[in-house]
Structure 1
Amino acid sequence: MTSRDNRARRAVHWCAVAAVAVAAFAAVAHIVGPESNKLIILSSFVPLLLVIGIAGLVALAAVRAWRTLAVGVVVVLAGVSMQVPLYVRDVPRTASGDGSIRLLQANIRLGEADPEALVDLVRSRSVDVLTVEELTDSAVEDLRAAGLQDLLPVTYLVPKRSGGGGTGIYSRFPLGEAELLGNFSMSNLVTKLDLGDGRTVTLAAVHPMPPYPSPSWMWATEMEKLRTLLHERASDGDPVVVSGDFNSTYSHSRYRDILTDGFTDAGEQAGAGLVPTYPADRWYPPVIAIDRIVLKDAVVGEYERVELPGSDHYGIFATVTPDFTSAEVAR
């Protein structure tokens, strides 16, 4: 082997080591939950960073760096194992009761999404409940003109004149006890969904602030507050459905902190995988999954990403069956 070959081999080796180090960072960030803006943003891309680590393993095998490869395999497998639950369907039980809630989550980008397209989606999917973030006054009027309230006549809307702070709930079921959920930078809503026969579901439409460009501690504080309030709302024993733009991914520990005491991620329960929803308006595909649905005492059926023309987010459509038997036992 020539000296040139040796230099090339060393270069590949150290590039591969760097790639594995990237995967190691991803695994640590997934567990620790950094509060630096840059680290929070990087940790949003943990699955992509793990792919870089896998490429590093291939390179290490190509240059036959067997000992380094063995260490790299352990590191990358540790990181990958943290993402595996997203791909394994884990429905804990069969929900009691007849019928399910057909739920659509939609961030409409400062009210700019195509109202006709959104209403067509609600109609074609026979949606029962729609949660909307970045709802503006003008978007409320545009959606009304497009016929949304003919399909979902019961509403709880807190729009804003402009900006991304408005949130709304459209429903075909009666709503009760509707109010703002805590004091957040953007509107977060909670209500009771009345399914009839004395069955009620706690429904929340959420939109905590993003970790950028605001100070990271503000994002962390809102995520912790959201967890506390959602868990408090679950104390009455009703099934809980939380739908929204969480501005967080499964790789953020503060998002996963919500998934305790019986709360589960609907996508994880369905084994749907990453289901990235943002950004939706670029030449490349979406890379992070921040539009999510969280459940307690409920079982997910369908779970899929849907297009929202005019928005920078994809929507999430899911069918959710509340488990009232489990809720009764918990009371």
Structure 2
Amino acid sequence: MIVETTRPATTRRAARLRGALLWAAVAPGCAWAAVRLGGLDRGPLVQLLAFTPYAAAGSLLPLLLALALRRRGPAVVAALASAALVAVVAPRALPSGQPPAAGPTVRLLTANLLAGAGDAGALVDLVRRHRVDVLAVQEFTPAAEVELQRLGLDGLLPHRQLSPSIGTVGSGLYARFPISAGGVRHNRGGWGFDQAHGTVAVPGAPAIRVESAHPSAPYAVDQVGHWRTDLAAQPPATPGGPLGILAGDFNATLDHGPLRALLDTGYVDAADQVGAGLVGTWGPYDGDWIPPVTIDHVLVDRRIAVRSVAVHRVPGSDHRAVLAELRLPAG
């Protein structure tokens, strides 16, 4: 009798333990979904949200476990969390409809040069091979400017608005076509990154204002306020006015509320438009365990059609360059 009484009690304790462990496995996905859907990107949660695509994939594991163990409650909750995360992530891998733009094609490349350490030869080669029309660079130094000129970038993209600086704050904009109303905007937060900008005159299309974007990075909790300030200060789209493009290192993914708010002014993310929105642009790619995230973007006015987006490695930089082929409205 003692044995018969003990066995059911032991079985019940084991079942409760399994249930508790299963709920513990389900809880992170639920919390992540609540933070992402609630736009609660504050403090250390800002950095975590950059990895939401990985969290969406990982949330399927507790669901499969709950189904295998036939635990209805955890399975339902896990399914809801997974569905929420997949719903916000999966569309980035699917192409969207494009506006009926009938103007010329423009190829735009953006690259963060990691305080000038990015390989200038590789960058010029990308410009030459892909017939790039507009180049936006961040963390642009005087040495990088000299090296790019030596390698022939001026012959490929003769028009420019440059603000080189030692360290990480420099910015530059090069174009095949004339640039007018050029200038440099200085972000107030964090490191105070510069953003070179200008109006590019593409034959056969309306003039386009292009800016090399580089808001502050939320690399520490005390920097999150600067990050939010810089993103909020980015020039909004003007759906009823001139065309605009923001291209660069935004230090934010599509899972961050401030970037989504910027898109809501009238931009689209070029990579997201063509189903390439999950391709990582920031590593690091030196063997560290941190997986790639997508923080470099080309944001274009919704009247501009996106034909293709590709990322390219630039040796020496921890960012990958983003190349977008765009079809402009007719002028």
Give the match for residue 26 of structure 1.
32
1:137-173 C-alpha deviation (Å, 9 max, x unpaired): 1111111112221211111111112x21111111111
Q: 8 Å contact 1:259–1:265 — kept in the other structure?
A: yes
TM-score (norm 2): 0.89
1:190 aligns with 2:197: yes
**Is this contact kept in 2: 1:37–1:212, CA < 8 A?**
no
> What is the alpha-carbon distance in structure 2 between the residues aligned to residue 237 and residue 165 of structure 1?
30
User: For residues 205 and 85 of structure 1, what CA distance do their matches in structure 2 show?
Assistant: 26
**CA–CA distance in structure 1, aligned partners of residues 16 and 138 of structure 2:** 51
Structure 1 segment 32-51 matched on structure 2, within 5 A? 32-51=38-57
> Tell me, which stretches of 5 or more residues in structure 2 are unaligned?
1-6
Counterpart position of 1:141: 146
- Provide the C-alpha distance between the structure 2 equivalents of 1:2 and 1:182, rounded to a whole number of angstroms: 70
SS in 2 for 1:81: helix
Distance 1:4 1:255, change over 3 A: farther
The answer to which of 109-118 and 61-70 deviates more is 61-70
Q: Is structure 2 residue 278 aligned with structure 1 residue 274? A: yes
Q: Is the 8 A contact 2:50 2:252 kept in 1?
A: yes
Q: Distance in 1 between matches of 2:202 and 2:55?
A: 43
State the 1:21 CA deviation.
Answer: 2.0
C-alpha RMSD over aligned residues: 2.3
Q: Which of these residues, 256, 260, 271, is aligned with residue 256 of structure 1?
A: 260
Q: Kindly report which structure 2 residues correspond to 1:1-331, keeping only aligned pairs within 5 A, or say none.
A: 13-97=19-103, 99-161=104-166, 163-181=167-185, 183-184=187-188, 185-197=192-204, 199-213=206-220, 214-226=222-234, 229-231=235-237, 234=238, 237-283=241-287, 286-296=291-301, 297-324=303-330
SS at match of 1:155: strand
- Given that 1:266 and 1:294 are in contact with CA atoms closer than 8 Å, whether structure 2 keeps it comes out as yes
Please say which structure displays the higher CA radius of gyration: 2
Question: SS where residue 61 of structure 1 aligns?
Answer: helix
Contact 2:205 2:329 in 1 (8 A): no
Report the TM-score, using the length of structure 1 for normalisation: 0.89
| Distance apart, 1:8 and its partner CA | 6.8
The one-letter amino acid of 2:299's match is V
- The structure-2 alpha-carbon separation of the partners of 1:57 and 1:192, relative to structure 1 and needing over 3 Å to count, comes to same
Identity rate, percent: 30
Aligned to 2:4: none
Question: Where do 5+ consecutive residues of structure 1 fail to align?
Answer: 326-331
CA contact (8 A) 1:155 1:168 kept: yes
> Alpha carbons of 1:6 and 1:277: their partners in 2 closer, same or farther (altered >3 Å)?
farther
Contact 1:238 1:324 in 2 (8 A): no
